[in-house]
Structure 1
């Protein structure tokens, strides 16, 4: 992404704006994080608990029900760890090699010994040599193996271990994501109750997200998704009635837009999606997006620019830096409503 075409100008992320721990460790409730709203009217500063008053009856929040895996496993005998990313159609897994210092390592073909007598055999590069296609032999289903021996993936800006529960959202029901679909993290039962009472509907879908590797800024690769028939019907009915479809996270955008048919309607669908959402492609059914703040040059910014005009994004990111909003999975959130509030 060049500076000339970037939806957000190149910027340096000050270290003090990196969220190093969950908000609960900073004395906040989950839903106490800040919420920056960007629309055609400009930017506005809120708390996440204000969300029910920012949407309207008939709007639909599309949420990802994927649960976070304990997807980081120490390699036996060497200072390395594997990040389990995505199960591939042929039964192998895409994995990433990291050092014990959490920094990426290149990896090379061969077998790695894992806890419990398991092995991971790196066979061939999957994406630019960062991810490897690996055969896992563990005597257990991989999800069960990770539950027994793994821990949540974290990056150097998260300075200590936190339990897996801190990486789950209130919507998580089906384990499968290498990293938390973090835009939904601030939701709590009380916020969901207030939203429902205000006439906002929830539409669940599933996308198992792979490792983001914030240093790489790569385009997304195929991930498993499922859009149920009930969700498709709810969204189509809401759109016909004038309701807005607001995706909770970039994963929800990718899954939802992958299920749109030639007639512009959402259909029940599942499988692996290789869809890359960009400004040139645009979005067919998403009217707004609740998301975290993304790293400089991140490819996610292109997806954001498919939902909101570049001037809105630039205003949001300039305000976020100026007013000290926090980045990453434990940070603050950004509501993009290009059509306006209310």
Structure 2
């Protein structure tokens, strides 16, 4: 999975594109384009000319939450990252410690020793603003204790996050940013205060002006929703189950494009996970919602998505398995070599990578049992 490359620290995008100079907007980023092992360099504003009439962009409408909030365990300061809300009202959370620079780091190993009954963090209580008390109950997964299911008592969590929370940020960014910086142009309010712990960042460079130009050129959009959890920044673990929804109108549109000459291009790995979770074995997409634990790998492959617009990922990131499922290992390795040579910027405020098929569009047509 790991790429044999090293990303220098200076290639981390430290601020959003629009803050790097006067007159700049979100779309002032670079666009690396891969067609097989052929790579070309563009600005993101060239995207409408790189796609064609009949192509379909699948976009994630999940809004970003102010998911980081300060708390205390006794006299110890911690930062709680709220990841995912479960069906039973509990929240999956990650506890981290302040690093003195406005960001956080993992809690020291063994931080739970000598806690309640000497049996680890179960039962640990975290005090939060607004009188909210959070009690850790059990790990989200047997493979890691990074995320825990926790039950909140007192005021509701969504209201507490709106009043006291801030967007999650990591050490490579320069400073805290307002929540609006982390919302994409496709974000829509979600029921019950749901949303993503971290921005579906592949869509961040889109502006209303660019969307209008794409539509005017015949490119279509299919909205889906996948609420992302907290990423594993240090350990690069595979993604945990996440809540998703593919509405019927989007499913029909995706199937229609696949039956014609258009290409289905997912905007972000979250959109890939949502669409592939709603696809049958024969590649027909059905309207579905619920939880997905799908991990897209080269072995599993993709059934629907033909192209992908995504950010540049760390060499250890599990997301690279998905990129290789779409484009193949050789193409991804070649693209990342070019991104490093070209001094592209990494992370959520950085440059983006468009993977397009290098073959002629497919001619598969749906039979009458597609719907």
C-alpha displacement of 1:264: 2.1
CA contact (8 A) 2:130 2:155 kept: no
C-alpha displacement of 1:341: 9.2
Corresponding residue of 1:74: 70
Which of the residues 53, 56, 61 maps onto 1:57? 53
Corresponding residue of 1:11: 5
C-alpha displacement of 1:149: 1.1
Which of the residues 225, 238, 246 maps onto 1:219? 238
- Change in 2 beyond 3 A, CA 1:42/1:302: same
C-alpha displacement of 1:40: 2.3
User: Could you report, residue by residue, the CA deviation over 1:203-243 in whole angstroms, capped at 9, with x for unpaired residues?
Assistant: 00000000113212111111000000000000101111121
Corresponding residue of 1:120: 134
Which of the residues 181, 189, 213 maps onto 1:174? 189
User: Could you report, residue by residue, the CA deviation over 1:1-51 in whole angstroms, capped at 9, with x for unpaired residues?
Assistant: 4xxxx4xx3222101100111111112310110000011261100010000
Map 1:137-176 onto structure 2 (within 5 A): 137-140=153-156, 142-175=157-190, 176=195
Stretches of 4+ aligned residues off by more than 4 angstroms: none
C-alpha displacement of 1:78: 2.8
With normalisation by structure 1, the TM-score equals: 0.95
Greater CA drift, 259-268 or 65-74? 259-268
Which of the residues 76, 80, 91 maps onto 1:93? 91
Distance 2:186 2:76 in 1: 37
Corresponding residue of 1:111: 125
- Change in 2 beyond 3 A, CA 1:340/1:324: farther
Q: Count residues in correspondence.
A: 335
CA contact (8 A) 2:129 2:160 kept: no
CA contact (8 A) 2:281 2:303 kept: no
C-alpha displacement of 1:125: 1.9
User: Could you report, residue by residue, the CA deviation over 1:52-105 in whole angstroms, capped at 9, with x for unpaired residues?
Assistant: 000111000000000000000001453210000011232211101111121011
Corresponding residue of 1:184: 203
Please give the root-mean-square deviation of Cα atoms over the aligned residues, in Å: 1.5
CA contact (8 A) 1:63 1:204 kept: yes
Matched, 1:32 2:28: yes
Q: Any unmatched runs of 5+ in structure 1? A: none
Distance 2:153 2:184 in 1: 30
Q: Any unmatched runs of 5+ in structure 2? A: 113-120, 362-371
CA contact (8 A) 2:224 2:250 kept: yes
Matched, 1:336 2:355: yes
